[in-house]
Amino acid sequence: MKNEFKKLIDISNKCASYQTKNLSKSEALFLLIDQEVNKLKNAGINFSFECGGIKYSLPLNIENIFFRPLFKMATHAKIKEANADDTHAVDFDVPVGTEVYSVSDGIVTAIQSDSSTGGNNKEFAGKDNYLYIYNEKENRIYCYRHLERFSNLKLNSLIKKGMLLGRIGLTGYVITPHLHFVIYEIDKKGKYLLKSIPIKFIQ
C-alpha cells in the first residue's frame, strides 16, 4: 500500500496548490482523493503524521470520513488577529459533527466557543469557534478551527492527548465543513509570534 499512500499525498498536494488559483481544478481532484482514501480505508491502513521530529495521531477519526477528501495543505498565508503564519496549515474536509481530538497535552491559551455563524463569505472570517492549545515543553501551539459551539472548555483548561475537544461546525469563513489544523512553533523574535511548521503524513 506504500504506493497508494504516496499517490494520495501527491494528489492532495496538487489539489491544495490549485485551491487559490483554480478552484474548479482543485474540486475535480476531490473525487480522486476520495477513491484513494477509500482504498486505504478498505485495506485497513491507518495513518498518522509527523511534524518536526514528533509523531502524532490524526485529530480526527478516519472512520468518520466518508466520500470526502481527507486533507489538503492550506495556503492561508497568515492569521492576522493572532500574528500567526499559517503557511503550513492543513484542512481536513469532513462532515459537520465529526469529532475532533487533541493531538497533544497542553493548556487552552485562546478560545472562541460561542459562535454559530459562518459560510462562504469573507465577512465570516474570525467568526469561527477555535482552540489554541499550548504545550510548554514542546514550545508548540496546536490550533483547531471551525468547531461547533461548545461549552466544555475555557481559557486555561488542561488538555490531555486524545481528549475529545469538540465537533466540526460551519462556523467562520468556510466553503465546506472542515477542520483547520495548524502546529505552531513560538518564535518571540520572528516576524510572526506563531510560525507554522510543515506536517508530513506517514503510514
Return the residue of 74, 147, 194, 199 that touches Zn ion, per CB under 5 A. 74
Q: Which of 36, 85, 91, 128 binds Zn ion (CB under 5 A)?
A: 91
* Site membership for Zn ion, residue 146 (CB under 5 A): no
| Pick 20 or 22: Cβ nearer Zn ion | 20
Least distance to Zn ion, CB of residue 168, Å: 12
Only segment of 1-9, 56-64, 69-77, 157-165 that touches Zn ion (CB under 5 A): 69-77
> Toward Zn ion, which CB reaches closer, 140 or 180?
180
Of residues 5 and 181, the one with the C-beta less far from Zn ion: 181
In degrees and rounded to multiples of 5, residue 29 shows phi and psi of -85, -15
180 binds Zn ion per the rule CB under 5 A: yes
Q: Is the CB of 40 or the CB of 74 nearer to Zn ion?
A: 74
For the bound state, the minimum distance from the C-beta of residue 86 to Zn ion, rounded and expressed in Å, comes to 7
Pick the stretch among 7-15, 41-49, 154-162, 172-180 that binds Zn ion (CB under 5 A).
172-180
In the bound state, the residue with its beta carbon closest to Zn ion is: 180
The residues facing 147 across adjacent strands are 129, 168
Residues contributing to the site for Zn ion (CB under 5 A): 74, 91, 180
